[in-house]
Structure 1
Amino acid sequence: MTIIAQKLQNSLQQILSHDPWYGPATYDIIDNVSFEAAYELPPGSVHSIAGILLHMLGWTQEVTARMNGQAAGEPAGGDWPDPGHPDEAKWKQLIADFKLANVTLAGIIQNLPADKWDAPTNDARNREMGTGVSHESLIEGLVQHHVYHSGQIALLHRIVG
């Protein structure tokens, strides 16, 4: 594994399951959310916890596809898919799918050839879509995305918890 891959892998794992300096890891946050709380939409909120986690899952899968050379687009299920009605099994599956998507991405990070990290992804630069950046910037962006939305989930959980 290259130095860049190790750095990015460490960053991803730090925020997902280790001890980030700013607060609890993403997996600790979502593992403590009940399915009832996950689907509750507090007054004034646009998204539920389940909706935010679906969004995070979709973008993790989209970044994985881009790392594999696919052209950029919105996630297959859409940017903000509807989480549907509260369902305990569905919530547990969503958490499992999110964790698996990050394991899959970690494998790609570990195996990406050194000369690819500075190379642009398979798209022209479009700031709104996050395309045309280097593979390194793409992973850094996803880590930032995870941190941002993990904070939202933690705050929503305090409200509906």
Structure 2
Amino acid sequence: MFTKALQLFKVARVEQLVIGPGAGSEESVHKAIFTLPSRAGRQRYGMAQFWAVWCKQQQAGKLMKEINRLLDQLRRAYDGDAWSGPSLQATLAGITAAQAAAHPLVGAHSIWEIVLHLHTWLEIVRRRLETNTLLGPTDDENWPPVPAEPTEAAWQQTQQQLRQAHEQLLAAVAGLYDADLDRLPEPQPGYPASTPGSTYVLLHGLVQHNQYHTGQLALLRKAFA
């Protein structure tokens, strides 16, 4: 009973920080996020509230902080108005399971394989942010195999997992301060630091990684036009 009451109190405190007096600042959002009783709750609530505050700041004409700029670039590359052309989601729109599993270019990965690879790196970057360690995927994790039965249901599930990983990454980035962008991750034994650098470099690298593979997907898609 006491635990339940404490959780309700914390949620009420979150509401006060987000919509009460003094709400709308980055500091109040961070206080709200870390008041929530569970990590999963912080991620879900934090992402929604961060974007609400972000929109409010833009409407008020405030300058974007660097974290906001990075979030904007990640969103544009995934499903927004990307400078380079169609976003990742726009490029995948209308692709069937049969097309996703096909190999129209000899020696090239399939659309499905690339999407699984993109999912892996969204997860890896999020875990690096949360642990501040230079975690890396195994070879099997880096390029996971396509399901043995590449059905439409399996293809939709793969795309849903990609969307969830993207949303979880945005929530993790939204939990950072600009000062966190200079952090250097702790190296891990046995994992080569192929892309060393700060959190800032890591996040820009992820945007570039998404755009690089989106270009590959666009070329593969042309084979089915």
2:186 aligned partner: 122
> 5+ unaligned residues in a row in structure 2: which ranges?
1-25, 27-63
Indicate if the aligned counterparts of 1:40 and 1:160 stay in contact, CA closer than 8 A: no
Instruction: Find the partner of 1:81 among 144, 158, 175.
Output: 144
Structure 1 residues 66-120: Cα deviation after superposition (integer angstroms, max 9, x where no partner): 0101441216951111113421111101111111101111011111133211111
Partners of 1:137 and 1:71 in 2: CA distance: 13
2:115 aligned partner: 53
* Offset, 1:126: 4.7
Partners of 1:76 and 1:90 in 2: CA distance: 22
Partners of 1:75 and 1:114 in 2: CA distance: 30
* Residues 1:22 and 1:43: Cα distance change in structure 2 (over 3 Å): closer
* Offset, 1:46: 2.5
Residues 1:96 and 2:184 are matched in the alignment: no
Partners of 1:139 and 1:102 in 2: CA distance: 13
Aligned length: 159
Q: Secondary structure at the match of 1:117?
A: helix
Given the two structures, how large is their TM-score scaled by the length of structure 1?
0.89
Partners of 1:72 and 1:97 in 2: CA distance: 20
Residues 1:62 and 2:124 are matched in the alignment: yes
Whichever residue aligns with residue 112 of structure 1, its letter is L
Larger Rg: 2
Whichever residue aligns with residue 202 of structure 2, its letter is L
1:146 aligned partner: 210
Of the two structures, which has the highest relative contact order with CA contacts closer than 8 Å and spacing of 6 or more? Answer: 1
Deviating beyond 4 angstroms after TM superposition, the runs of 4 or more aligned structure 1 residues are 124-127
